[in-house]
Amino acid sequence: MTERITRSPCPECGQPQVVSAQGLSLIARCPACGWMVATTNPDHPFHDRTRYTVRVEPGHLGTAAAIARLSVALGTGVKQARDLIGQNLPVAEDIPAHEVIRLHPLLSQQGLHVTITPDFPWPLDGRSVVD
């Protein structure tokens, strides 16, 4: 949870407020008097209306190993995994940001190289923005 001090004064005592993001919420609180309010966090991937496409490549794996690992990760047959990798077909398309965040570790932890289009603005490095 990252906190930041705002220029907006506390409506009760006039002191600076501290704002922190907690999942889908923003919490503004006054450290001086204890006043607090919660509102929707507009900077959360759940509110991202962009639709994304996810593809995978073998990366450092050989093609056969990548196909086997993709099949396991997706719970699909080997033929479908072979088609996805061999024809560079989307593993998922037209999905929201929070689904990309859910899907990415399933694929990357298998050693697959994951490509997301359009450019993905949210962290995929294990920092949680989706609580």
Q: Is residue 92 part of a domain?
A: yes
Q: Do residues 52 and 38 both lie within one domain? A: no
pLDDT computed for residue 131 by the predictor: 40
pLDDT computed for residue 30 by the predictor: 93
Q: Do residues 26 and 72 both lie within one domain? A: no
Q: Do residues 113 and 98 both lie within one domain? A: yes
Looking up tokens 């450019």 gives 119
Q: What pLDDT, in 10s, does the model give residues 79-93? A: 999 999 999 999 999
- Beta bridge mates, 27: 20, 38
Q: Do residues 50 and 27 both lie within one domain? A: no
pLDDT classification of 78: cutoffs 50, 70, 90: very high
Q: Is residue 102 part of a domain?
A: yes
Q: Is residue 123 part of a domain?
A: no
Domain housing 76: 46-117
Q: Do residues 74 and 57 both lie within one domain? A: yes
- Omega of the bond prior to 31 within 30 degrees of 0, cis? no
103: nearest Cα among 63, 52, 57: 52
Assess whether pLDDT exceeds 70 at residue 55.
yes
